[in-house]
Structure 1
Amino acid sequence: MRDDIEEFRQNELKEVLDTHSGDLSGFAPGGMGCHEALHMASVYADDVYSRLAEHPAVILNPDWFRLAMEAGDRLFALYQAIGAVHLADDAAIRQQEKS
C-alpha cells in the first residue's frame, strides 16, 4: 500500500474515532455499520456500471469506458472483500447467539 494512502487512512481514522467517542464496535464485521459499508459498495458498483459506464459520453471514449469499468470492478472487489469477512462474522455471531 502506498504510504500516502495509509497516512490519509490514519488521519481519517483519528477523525472517525473522535466523532464516535472512540467506539467503533458497531462498524466491525458482523455489525450494522459493516453491513452498511457492504451495501454502499454494492450500490456504488452498480451505479458505476449502469450509470457511468453506460453514459453516452463515456461509451464514445474507449479510455473513459475502460476506466469506468475498472472503477466498477474495483468497487465490486471491495464489496466481495467486505462481504467475505462481514458475512462470515455475522454467521459466527448468530451461531453464538444460538448457544
Structure 2
Amino acid sequence: MNRVFDQMFGGGGGLARAGGFAPSLEMKETDTGLVVTAELPGLEEKDVELSLEGDMLTLSGEKRQETSEDKGGLHISERSYGAFTRSVRLPWAADPAQASARLRTH
C-alpha cells in the first residue's frame, strides 16, 4: 500500500501529481560515477531544473501543451502536459561540485 501512495504522490521518486506528465528515469553506475538519464520529449533546457541535496536528485519543470490554431481532424490525444517533479534517491550522497548535467536532443 505504501508503494502505491509513493508512486502516486511523490514519495521516494514517484509522480509529484497523479495523472500528469512525469519523465521516465534510468540510473546506471559507471567506472567514473553515476549516470541518470531522463526522457524529456519536447522540452528545452529552459524548461527543466535539477537540484541535488545529499543523496536526493530532483528533476522538475513543465511540459507545455503545443498550441495550434488548426484543431481540425484530431480524433484522440494521449499526450500528457503540465508541471512535474521527480525525485530519486541516489545510492550515495553526491558532491554537487563534481556533478554535471546536459540536455541532448536526438
| TM superposition score category, shorter chain reference | under 0.3
Structure with a larger share of its residues in strand: 2
Query: What TM-score, normalized by structure 2, do the two folds share?
Result: 0.25
Structure with a larger share of its residues in helix: 1
